[in-house]
Amino acid sequence: MEMKRNLLLTASAGAILFAQPAYAQDNSELAAELAEMRATMAAMAERINALEAELAEADAKADAATAEASAAAAQATAASESAATAIAAAEKADSGVKVAFKGAPEIKADGGWSFKPRGRLQYDAGITSAPSSTGRSDGFGSEARRARLGVSGDMPGGFGYKFEVDFAGNDVAVTDALISYEAGDAEITVGQMNNFQSLEELTSSLHTSFIERAAFTDAFGFERRVGAAVSFGSGDVLVQTGLFTDNMEDLSNKNWSADGRVVFMPKAGDAQLHFGGSVHYTDLEAGESVRYRQRPLVHFTSERFINTGNMGGSSEFGFGLEGAVISGPFHAAAEGFWQSVNLPSGMEDPTFFGGYAEIGYFLTKGDTRGYKGGKFDRTKPANPVGEGGIGSLQLNARYDRLDLSDAGIIGGTQDGYFLSLVWKPTDYTMLLANYGKLSYDNAVHPTGTGDTNYDVDVIGVRAQIDF
């Protein structure tokens, strides 16, 4: 440091001496100037020393800060590693159990286990109005249409199960009770289940567009039966077939039946198309009889205005055709089903017909009818109540025909003209209002003047919740 100062003084003095003009000043003036310059140089040297001291102190502080930052980074890395270890340990400790909420808690665990409680409640009320001179009971009616509780889920190895019990009408009845097994594109099912007769029948009562299904599904005795079935689905094709006995409540007997259904369900742009056909055969136990009849739309009345009466048949054979389209808010569907009864020898076998055609449109933006696995499925409002919306609002119209007169059997015909308004506030709640006009020919209950051609008006409403 001292050497730096001497060099600086010497250089400064030399510069001054060489800068003097050619003429020389006297020695006294030069001595004064040199003294002043030495003082200035001394002050500058002191300032340089001070700056060097400050720089050394700053370097020391920077080194300390760097050391502290390195220590903090090492601590953060250690903490992150500890957190990752804790998360991994927690995930391992929970054994892969996950809970999702789909109307009710659905519990899933490693190994293929799942469990979900399920249920539905449907309460119906309304009015039927028939010509008073028929003497039939009409007016206000109401009922708990369905009150079901059950469970469903999966088991390791590709197995599944479903069990439901209905408590409506103060009776306890098993609806679904089945075990299934999936093997690639095929599913094998054993137990009590829906058969494969029609799109309308296979669509859950939770997702129908009217208060009751088409008249022919009930008139021709479509119901759950105990048996074994196989479904095969690949791409746009679904094939379903099965062998069945009878409903669990009606066993034991010797009745047996076979069903087959094929569905082609391609997409055409954004539109979902549905084309299907089904075949049904029932072999009846000796001495059995069949009877086809139907209510005027709603279930809360016990009156039937068309009825074949009991027929001593040995077998039934039916086949049906299905068609549907869903395009944005619009949908349309139509079905026809022909049911024949093999009567005793010497009698002509009658063939009865049932079918419907319907259209529907959502009045709320962004809503469309659900479809899955060859049948209509749950409608999920785009803007449900509770999330700033009003839910979905759907208007539907249907023509429904049931003809129970053929081959000398006069069971009558029923032509139904229906309107419905369906409001779904959320995915799992629904309010439905239905109006129907039923026009009868050859009704089984004549008026006071003997007329068997007349109309019956029906209004029905439903409140529904499921999980």
Give 301-316 as a DSSP string.
----SEE---B--SEE
Distance (Å, rounded) from C-alpha 195 to C-alpha 284?
Answer: 17
- pLDDT reading at 17 higher than 50: no
Instruction: Give the three-class secondary structure for 290.
Output: strand
Distance (Å, rounded) from C-alpha 247 to C-alpha 249?
Answer: 5
pLDDT on residue 140: 98
Asked if 422 contacts 212 with a C-beta cutoff of 8 angstroms, the reply is: no
Distance (Å, rounded) from C-alpha 214 to C-alpha 210?
Answer: 9
In tens, the pLDDT along 29-60 reads 777 777 777 777 777 777 777 777 777 776 77
pLDDT on residue 95: 58
Asked if 123 contacts 100 with a C-beta cutoff of 8 angstroms, the reply is: no
Neighbours of 41 (CB within 10 A): 18
When pLDDT is averaged across residues 158-164 and rounded to a whole number, the result is 97
pLDDT category of residue 78 using cuts at 50, 70 and 90: low
Q: How many helices (H) and strands (E) does the chain have?
A: 4, 23
Residue 328 DSSP class: T
- pLDDT reading at 65 higher than 70: no
- Letter string b/e over residues 269-308, b meaning 16 or more CB atoms within 10 A of that residue's CB: eeebbbebebbbebebeeebebebbbbbbbbbbeebbbbb
- pLDDT reading at 12 higher than 50: no
- pLDDT reading at 118 higher than 50: yes
- pLDDT reading at 11 higher than 60: no
Of 375, 339, 326, 335, nearest to 357 by C-alpha is 335
- pLDDT reading at 428 higher than 50: yes
Distance (Å, rounded) from C-alpha 17 to C-alpha 102?
Answer: 99
- pLDDT reading at 83 higher than 70: no
Asked if 166 contacts 209 with a C-beta cutoff of 8 angstroms, the reply is: no
- Run of H or E residues at 110: none
Least confident of 308-312, 317-321, 344-348: 344-348
Distance (Å, rounded) from C-alpha 31 to C-alpha 453?
Answer: 145
The pair of three-digit structure tokens given for residue 463, joined into one six-digit string: 């409140």
pLDDT on residue 16: 41
Residue 24 DSSP class: P
- CATH (residue range 119-146+199-466): 2.40.160.10
Distance (Å, rounded) from C-alpha 391 to C-alpha 431?
Answer: 11
Distance (Å, rounded) from C-alpha 430 to C-alpha 381?
Answer: 11
When pLDDT is averaged across residues 11-26 and rounded to a whole number, the result is 45
> For tokens 């009868």, what's the residue?
440
Instruction: Give the three-class secondary structure for 81.
Output: helix
Of 139, 144, 115, nearest to 128 by C-alpha is 139
pLDDT on residue 35: 78
The pair of three-digit structure tokens given for residue 321, joined into one six-digit string: 């055709």
In tens, the pLDDT along 204-260 reads 999 999 999 999 999 999 999 999 999 999 999 999 999 999 999 999 999 999 999
Q: Which residues are within 8 A (CB) of 205 and not within 5 positions of it... i.e. 6 or more apart?
A: 120, 122, 146, 213
The pair of three-digit structure tokens given for residue 108, joined into one six-digit string: 């899933």
Say what the alpha-carbon torsion angle 197, 202, 205, 210 is, to the nearest 10 degrees. -70
Asked if 124 contacts 461 with a C-beta cutoff of 8 angstroms, the reply is: yes
| Percent of the chain as helix, strand, coil, to the nearest 5 | 20, 45, 30
pLDDT on residue 28: 75
Whole-model pTM?
A: 0.79
Distance (Å, rounded) from C-alpha 124 to C-alpha 460?
Answer: 7
Residue 405 DSSP class: E
- pLDDT reading at 19 higher than 50: no
Domain locations in the chain as residue ranges: 2-78, 119-146+199-466
> For 17-168, where are the E strands, in sequence order?
98-101, 105-109, 113-129, 139-155, 159-166
The pair of three-digit structure tokens given for residue 31, joined into one six-digit string: 């001595």
